[in-house]
Amino acid sequence: MTKVETETLMSPFTGIDRLGPELLADAAQAAVLRGIPLARILQAEYGVPRETLLVALSAYYQCEVIEYDERLPIPPELLTGLQGNKLAQSGWFPVIKDDDGTVVIAARDPSDSAMRAEVESILGPGRYEFRVALPDEISWFIQDFLHDKVGCLIGTERTGLALWRNTMAQWRTRLACYRTDMARARTALAFARTGLGLGAISRTLLDSKRFAAHPSLAYGILALGLFLLFGALPTYLRVRRSRMTPPQHQTLVEVTAATLSFLENYQSLEQAGMEKKTKETMLARLGDLLGNYCTILYPSPASRERTHLARERNVLAAQRTIAGCYRTIYSRARTGLAFIRTGVSFVSIGIGLIGYFGFGFSTLFDGMLIVAGLLMIIDGGLWYLPVRKEQAELPKTRSAGLAGGKIG
């Protein structure tokens, strides 16, 4: 870089008292080598306030300044046909249209004749007022109002964030439906246990000499037990069939992870580093990952507060999504334990009846109880065992800050 080019780059900021010629030259050289605006170097690394930079630019270019504000109601006709890449290279953006038709242009260098000619060629002949703005703020205007791609810090990302919040809300609703189905299954199992318990009582009464002369009581109890059993059986079988198709345990975790993928595009971890021990289960690792984003970062400029708050809402929604996945997984585990509990009851009653009354015609009923109980124990184990690893990791995940954040 030649001396003339360096002086040209430095000249708008030479009036800043706190910067000597040597510091300013070093900052200019760093800006050129790193390919970033000099104003950003001065603000971030040399501690020059943004307001000071704007005052210096206003004095140098002899014009007013304009600052980025995502709330500006830019007329749509000013945005039609604009190309973000071209505007970024030229360093300008239309931001206001006055009642008299004057269009206010935010420009990196208001004195640039080539830029002024480009404005007239794109927007047409008219009245223009050029105001100076920091290069980063020109970029923010372009990214905000021209709907830049996902991953950039854009005001319109609030729409994308809202879409992701809806996606997570829909998934949490689906998870709640799964939990409701499994709660119905547990209720059905409770009715089935009651029905088979009444059946066992009826079988005992029929084989008891004391009640042999009054079989109507035993048959009445049996009828009630069969009514409860066959009334609950369809619900149990429906939920059991769903166990053989998605969503299974891994599917629940994978879809939950997919709903959290917005973090990669919309959240920044530059100021939020949290080191945690790697967990064994995928869901626990998601909880740790989310902890990195549970950080209050104050946006710059402050006018971007709505976008910042939208990000915070998304992180909170992600926390609820992970918690919803945990609740669903543990609901599956509770349902599996209900199966096991019911199966153990059946096996115990069957063995007890055989041991007390011995073998006979009614032993067929006892054997059916034992077989049904064993099948339910196996089935319950298939529901419960995948949750064992999650059970070991959950307390650590909770302590890792899944429900809170740190201030940075």
At residue 240, does pLDDT exceed 70? no
Bigger pLDDT: 379 vs 102: 102
Residues 98 and 43 in one domain: no
Closest CA to 290 of 327, 254, 328, 257: 257
Predicted confidence band of residue 56 (pLDDT cuts 50, 70, 90): very high
pLDDT, residue 266, reads: 67
- Average the pLDDT over each of 168-172, 323-327, 402-406 and give the range with the smallest value: 402-406
Query: What CATH number is associated with residue 81?
Result: 3.30.300.160
Pairing of strands 128-132, 92-97: unpaired
Predicted confidence band of residue 293 (pLDDT cuts 50, 70, 90): low
Residues 275 and 325 in one domain: yes
Boundary of a domain, candidates 99, 117, 145: 145
Position 103 in a domain: yes
Closest CA to 250 of 300, 180, 200, 325: 325
- As beta bridge partners, residue 283 has none
Residues 212 and 298 in one domain: yes
Checking 369-375 for CB contacts under 8 A at 24+ apart, the result is 369/196, 369/200, 370/346, 372/343, 372/346, 373/342, 373/343, 373/344, 373/345, 373/346, 373/347, 373/348, 374/343, 374/347, 375/343
Residues 164 and 125 in one domain: no
* Distance between CA atoms of residues 309 and 298, nearest Å: 10
Q: What are phi and psi of 92, to 5 degrees?
A: -150, 165
pLDDT, residue 150, reads: 43
Closest CA to 87 of 67, 115, 63: 115
Bigger pLDDT: 241 vs 83: 83
Predicted confidence band of residue 121 (pLDDT cuts 50, 70, 90): very high
315-362 pLDDT per residue, tens:
888 888 888 888 888 888 888 888 888 888 888 878 887 877 777 766
Would you tell me the crossing angle of helices 38-45 and 50-61 to the nearest 10 degrees? Answer: 150
Q: Is the peptide bond before 247 cis (omega within 30 degrees of 0)?
A: yes
Boundary of a domain, candidates 118, 145, 172: 145
At residue 286, does pLDDT exceed 80? no
- Stretch 125-148: mean pLDDT: 86
Looking at residue 52, its amino acid is T
Residues 284 and 370 in one domain: yes
271 secondary structure, DSSP code: T
Residues 40 and 187 in one domain: no
Of the chain, the percentage scoring pLDDT greater than 70 comes to 74
CB 362, CB 206: distance < 8 Å: yes
Predicted confidence band of residue 399 (pLDDT cuts 50, 70, 90): very low
pLDDT, residue 117, reads: 93
Position 70 in a domain: no
* Distance between CA atoms of residues 68 and 140, nearest Å: 7
Range of the domain at 29: 3-61
Structural domain total, the chain: 3
Position 115 in a domain: yes
Pairing of strands 103-107, 92-97: antiparallel
Residues 249 and 203 in one domain: yes
Boundary of a domain, candidates 103, 118, 145: 145
* Distance between CA atoms of residues 408 and 399, nearest Å: 19
- Stretch 134-162: mean pLDDT: 70
Q: Is the peptide bond before 75 cis (omega within 30 degrees of 0)?
A: no
Position 374 in a domain: yes
At residue 63, does pLDDT exceed 90? yes
Predicted confidence band of residue 402 (pLDDT cuts 50, 70, 90): very low
33-55 pLDDT per residue, tens:
888 888 988 888 888 888 999 99
At residue 161, does pLDDT exceed 80? no
At residue 126, does pLDDT exceed 50? yes
Cβ count within 10 A of residue 79: 13
User: Which tokens hold the place of 197?
Assistant: 């318990």
Position 67 in a domain: no
Q: What is the mean pLDDT of the chain?
A: 77
Position 66 in a domain: no
Residues 31 and 85 in one domain: no
- The model's pTM: 0.51
Beta strands in 28-121, from DSSP E residues, in sequence order = 92-97, 103-107
Residues 162 and 286 in one domain: yes
pLDDT, residue 295, reads: 53
Position 326 in a domain: yes
Residues 9 and 127 in one domain: no
**Could you tell me where the DSSP H helices lie in 208-295?**
215-243, 249-259, 262-266, 282-293
Predicted confidence band of residue 153 (pLDDT cuts 50, 70, 90): very low
* Distance between CA atoms of residues 34 and 26, nearest Å: 12
Residues 166 and 139 in one domain: no
348-397 pLDDT per residue, tens:
878 887 877 777 766 777 788 788 889 888 888 877 877 776 655 554 44
Position 71 in a domain: no
* Distance between CA atoms of residues 16 and 377, nearest Å: 79
pLDDT, residue 267, reads: 62
Residues 280 and 361 in one domain: yes
CB 104, CB 129: distance < 8 Å: yes
